[in-house]
């Protein structure tokens, strides 16, 4: 992390976990443990948990995020949620292009780009996820894959809008597998992402972008990952569902 240049952000991505009552319980446990955090603390929760989550986090330093958003303001899009709905619910962050959406729900760079632009236009903060598959890493094309995703997902996003973008580097082979990228591997790709951003937006703008690592990040490995210059935070799945583990990662970001 380089806290002089950019904000550290630790965000939980709860995925399809926790009912509203369970969400309330978990956030109530997390809140006192992270109350003195110097970094931004975010919980991205399932849609039906949003109302309870926003209520439970009133008066705390925990911000609430959603796990996706549609690009249209309204209309015949069964099962989708608009940015206006999220804003009114009190959401501040939206996860976009998560590999699970790309893998299981037909998300493409084109739809990630549309969603990202809509989220930014609505004044919400976008957490845009990129990352390579295992065989792409083995084929030696990690940088190509990630650069392509960054360029396409941020197409037509202005330098001003970039201020509300967080990039989450999530190597797909590290998600939910217990296989964390080494701190060296994480830094290698996060610094490469910053170089791609610098080509697109200039060095100063790129230096201001928070780049998170995600993929089996936990209380045991967070400190080492976060010690790297270009790893400015984490997007945490499994460990964000356990208050003490999530709080320990937040503490590692504070150190």
Return residues touching ligand 13P (CB under 6 A): 13, 98, 170, 175-176, 214-217, 235-239
Among 40, 67, 98, 100, which one carries the catalytic annotation?
98
Cβ atoms of 45 and 240 within 8 Å: the answer is no
Chain residue whose CB lies nearest ligand 13P: 237
Nearer to ligand 13P, 14 or 71 (CB): 14
Nearer to ligand 13P, 84 or 176 (CB): 176
Burial degree of 184 (CB within 10 A; 0-12, 13-18, 19+) = exposed
Distance, in Å, from the CA atom of 97 to the CA atom of 126, rounded to the nearest integer, reads: 10
Strand-pairing partners, residue 128, are 96, 167
Q: Does residue 88 carry a catalytic annotation?
A: no
Tell the smallest beta-carbon distance from residue 192 to ligand 13P (Å).
Answer: 20
Q: Does residue 98 carry a catalytic annotation?
A: yes
Neighbours of 85 (CB within 10 A): 17
Among 40, 100, 107, 170, which one carries the catalytic annotation?
170
Tell the smallest beta-carbon distance from residue 9 to ligand 13P (Å).
Answer: 13
Nearer to ligand 13P, 52 or 175 (CB): 175
Tell the smallest beta-carbon distance from residue 66 to ligand 13P (Å).
Answer: 13
Angle of CA points 119, 50, 252, to nearest 5°:
80
Nearer to ligand 13P, 119 or 201 (CB): 119
Nearer to ligand 13P, 169 or 201 (CB): 169
Alpha carbons within 13 angstroms on the beta-carbon side of residue 166 total: 31
Tell the smallest beta-carbon distance from residue 131 to ligand 13P (Å).
Answer: 9
Q: Is 215 left (phi over 0), alpha (psi -120 to 50) or beta?
A: left
CA distances from 154 to 12, 60, 107, 241 (A): 23, 31, 15, 30
Angle between helices 109-121 and 142-153 (to 10 degrees): 40
Tell the smallest beta-carbon distance from residue 212 to ligand 13P (Å).
Answer: 9
Question: Looking at the annotation, which residues are catalytic?
Answer: 98, 170
């Amino acid at each position: 992390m380089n806290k002089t240049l950019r904000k550290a952000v630790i965000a939980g991505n709860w995925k399809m976990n926790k009912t509203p009552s369970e969400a309330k319980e978990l956030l109530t446990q997390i809140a006192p443990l992270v109350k003195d955090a110097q970094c931004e603390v975010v919980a991205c929760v399932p849609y039906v948990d949003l109302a309870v989550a926003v209520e439970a986090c009133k008066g705390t330093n925990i911000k609430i995020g959603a796990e996706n958003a549609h690009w249209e303001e309204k209309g015949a899009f069964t099962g989708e949620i608009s940015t206006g709905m999220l804003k009114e619910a009190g959401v501040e962050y939206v996860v976009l292009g998560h590999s699970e959406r790309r893998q299981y729900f037909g998300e493409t760079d084109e739809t990630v780009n549309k969603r990202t632009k809509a989220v930014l236009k609505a004044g919400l903060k976008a957490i845009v996820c990129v990352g390579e598959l295992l065989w792409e890493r083995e084929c030696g094309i990690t940088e190509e894959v990630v650069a392509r995703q960054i360029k396409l997902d941020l197409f037509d996003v202005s330098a001003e809008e970039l201020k509300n973008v967080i990039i989450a580097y999530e190597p797909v082979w590290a998600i939910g597998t217990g296989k964390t990228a080494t701190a060296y591997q994480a830094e290698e790709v996060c610094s490469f992402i910053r170089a791609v951003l610098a080509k697109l937006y200039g060095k100063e703008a790129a230096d201001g972008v928070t780049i998170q690592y995600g993929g089996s990040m936990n209380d045991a490995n967070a400190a080492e990952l976060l010690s790297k210059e270009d790893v400015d935070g984490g997007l945490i799945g499994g460990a964000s569902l356990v208050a003490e583990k999530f709080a320990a990662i937040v503490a590692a970001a504070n150190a």
